[in-house]
Amino acid sequence: MTVTAANHPATVLLGAQAGAVTLPVCDHYSGVEARMRKSLALQAEMAQEFGACVFDVTLDCEDGAPVGGEAEHAALVTELALAAAPGMRVGVRVHPVDHAAFDSDVSFIAGRAGARLSHLMVPKVESLADVVRAVQALDAAGASQLPLHVLIESPLAVRNAFDIAAHARVQSLSFGLMDFVSAHAGAIPADGMGVAGQFAHSLVVRAKLEIASAAHAHGKVPSHCVVTEFSNGEAMRMAARRAAREFGYTRMWSIHPSQIRPILEAFAPDEEQIHQAAQILDAAIGASWAPVSFEGTLHDRASYRHFWQVLVRAHATGRVLPHQAQAFFVPERQPAT
């Protein structure tokens, strides 16, 4: 059956979830000039390889700017964002809302490059009031269209995560593991920041689950924390797999180029899942979205939604789609947003 905007899965299936945010599964951070330039070049190279922009680059002012050099660093990231290749997704992490450089960061960066940016990341968000403060600064800079991504980095922020996720301008909630552990005054041991401890300590696990749940409750994207052991490839793959399969995260931070591909692999459906999803949706369209039997199992719109999301994730991670699924992602056949 021909796929049109009217019978497209995004039109038929999502309903109340139609406004749910979909983002690339990897968010790559860099703050040193040479590394920022290399990150942007790698982003463009991999977009050519995969046929889509498969990871975001977030240029970092919070940890990247030297003390006393905040204005100069803001000017640099603005220049880099404006010079990024067409079609690439580039964001900026500014200073926290209570930092002296916050207003100047937002005014300069969003004021000059807001139309080019994919998002603005605000760290150390504690409450809805911090989100409102950031939105007001963006609006004052003439960037009222720019989405916010926020970092949840303290017990209070975890407590307020559902209120934060509910704000219309917030697209994504990220878990700030290092600051979260530090905020407990030694009550969480240092190994809670490591790749093993962060999946074992009860307070860290609870925070991860609360953030993921808050994001999903409001159709936003939960973004998993960093793995600092970037030279340990197996640890990186394990953490990414667990974040995706056990904790409900649909996005993850990278702090080294070697982490990007393991994140893409971990968050992508496997080939069997992709083919199954394509076959089931093809059968659903043939049945005008009525229930169907596939390999002895009944499927209806509830499972159709799941399999559509499998294909969306496959497309976002640059996986090759079966022929019958490729039509779902032809721009002229997709529903208007």
CA distance 250 to 231: 23
In terms of DSSP bridges, do strands 292-294 and 297-299 run parallel, antiparallel, or are they unpaired? antiparallel
Q: Which residues contact 198 (CB under 8 A, 6 or more apart)?
A: 177, 192, 204, 208, 225, 239
Residue 150 confidence class, pLDDT cut points 50, 70, 90: very high
Rounded to an integer, the average pLDDT of 124-129 is 98
Q: Please compute Rg for the chain using Cα positions.
A: 20
**Residue-averaged pLDDT of the chain:** 93
- Where helices occur in 85-127 by DSSP H, the ranges are 102-113
Q: Are 11 and 19 in contact (CB under 8 A)?
A: no
Examine the pLDDT at 146 and tell me if it is beyond 70: yes
38-97 per-position pLDDT tens digit: 999 999 999 999 988 999 999 999 999 999 999 999 999 999 999 999 999 999 999 999
Q: Which residues contact 320 (CB under 8 A, 6 or more apart)?
A: none
Distances (CA, A) of 87 to 43, 48, 54, 169, 195: 10, 11, 11, 22, 33
Segments of the chain assigned to CATH 3.20.20.60:
26-267
Examine the pLDDT at 185 and tell me if it is beyond 50: yes
**Among the listed residues 181, 172, 127, the one whose alpha carbon sits nearest the alpha carbon of residue 150:** 172
Examine the pLDDT at 333 and tell me if it is beyond 70: no
Q: Are 294 and 279 in contact (CB under 8 A)?
A: yes
CA distance 27 to 295: 38
Residue 1: predicted pLDDT: 54
Q: Which CATH number fits domain 26-267: 2.40.10.220, 3.30.450.40, 3.30.70.580, 3.20.20.60?
A: 3.20.20.60
- In the structure encoding, which two tokens stand for residue 60, read together? 């970092």
Q: Are 179 and 188 in contact (CB under 8 A)?
A: no
Q: Are 192 and 180 in contact (CB under 8 A)?
A: no
Residue 317 confidence class, pLDDT cut points 50, 70, 90: confident
- In the structure encoding, which two tokens stand for residue 120, read together? 């603005």
Is this prediction's pTM over 0.85? yes
Rounded to an integer, the average pLDDT of 27-46 is 98
Residue 336: predicted pLDDT: 53
CA distance 65 to 184: 26
- Most distant pair of Cα atoms in the chain: their distance: 66
Residue 11: predicted pLDDT: 82
